[in-house]
């Protein structure tokens, strides 16, 4: 295949991935890696490297908007980034020692979890709770401003959230995804942070996590410009388009459809990994 045709196909696939990722809230990285490996036969480590670049680019834009709007809790983000960054570095270091077939199987399992997470109904969950002593000392609590009221929130179980953040960073460095679903679970369901604050803070953290692991992939030569550049541009265009379409589309239906598609891709990744074809 000529280089220009390959670049165009990668760009179109990445645009679709960014669009679907923006509409479902999981980001394009979840789609980019399996699309490159299953459809175009790209080595999974190069696909992961390109996905990391796209994650950094798209999360930076979203994070800036969320910080400007006051949704992100910077103090919580900096606290949890200690765990995700260490996890991302460990994941990136492990990636070169794990066979590609095993990476495909792990990725398939993570996709199955993402499909299940996407199909679940989302709730705001903004309730005032008793903060833990550690959260009080670190001043992790804050105020969430909705359209109708201002809601104070406290942070509980920061150590539990911190531990899960390490796992999220490990998967991010290992598989080239933002691990936004795990980060939101840690903040929303373990630490008791309102869902929109959790989502915004997760977007703020994803870029830092991606940079930590991308540096290792770059050093090892797994970030190829011919693949990474069209992936970055495609996911960026798709994400911006999805953000504009999101208010006009039936999100519940889109999430269910996305869950089915991702589940099918996950099964294919696992099967191909077991057969040793990746």
User: pLDDT tens across 124-160, in order?
Assistant: 544 556 778 888 888 888 887 766 677 788 888 889 8
pLDDT value, residue 247: 57
Say if residues 103 and 227 touch (Cβ distance below 8 Å).
no
User: pLDDT tens across 222-254, in order?
Assistant: 899 889 999 989 888 887 787 677 656 665 676
How many angstroms separate the CA atoms of 262 and 27, rounded? 13
Closest Cα partner for 213 from 95, 65, 59, 71? 95
Mean pLDDT of 79-87: 91
Place of tokens 């008791």: 192
Nearby residues of 276 by Cβ (< 8 Å), 6 or more positions away? 101
pTM attached to this predicted model: 0.73
Closest Cα partner for 177 from 9, 28, 58? 28
Domain edges within the chain: 3-275
Q: What is the mean pLDDT of the chain?
A: 79
């Amino acid at each position: 295949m000529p280089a220009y045709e390959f670049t165009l196909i990668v760009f179109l696939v990445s645009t679709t991935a960014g669009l679907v990722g923006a509409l479902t809230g999981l980001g394009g990285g979840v789609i980019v890696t399996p699309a490159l490996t299953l459809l175009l036969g790209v080595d999974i480590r190069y696909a992961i490297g390109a996905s990391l670049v796209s994650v950094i680019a798209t999360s930076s834009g979203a994070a800036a908007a969320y910080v400007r709007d006051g949704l992100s809790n910077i103090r919580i983000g900096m606290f949890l980034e200690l765990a995700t960054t260490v996890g991302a570095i460990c994941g990136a270091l492990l990636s070169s020692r794990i066979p590609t077939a095993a990476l495909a199987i792990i990725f398939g399992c993570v996709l199955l979890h993402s499909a299940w997470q996407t199909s679940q109904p989302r709730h705001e969950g903004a309730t005032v709770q008793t903060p833990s002593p550690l959260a009080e000392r670190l001043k992790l609590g804050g105020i969430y401003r909705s359209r109708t009221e201002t809601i104070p929130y406290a942070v509980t179980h920061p150590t539990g959230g911190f531990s899960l953040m390490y796992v999220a960073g490990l998967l991010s460095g290992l598989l080239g995804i933002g691990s936004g679903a795990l980060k939101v679970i840690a903040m929303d369901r373990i630490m008791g942070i309102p869902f929109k604050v959790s989502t915004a803070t997760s977007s703020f953290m994803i870029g830092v996590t991606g940079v930590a692991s991308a540096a290792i992939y770059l050093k090892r030569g797994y970030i190829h410009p011919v693949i990474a550049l069209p992936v970055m541009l495609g996911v960026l265009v798709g994400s911006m388009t999805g953000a504009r379409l999101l208010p006009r589309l039936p999100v519940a239906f889109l999430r269910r459809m996305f869950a089915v598609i991702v589940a099918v891709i996950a099964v294919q990744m696992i099967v191909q990994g077991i057969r040793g074809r990746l």
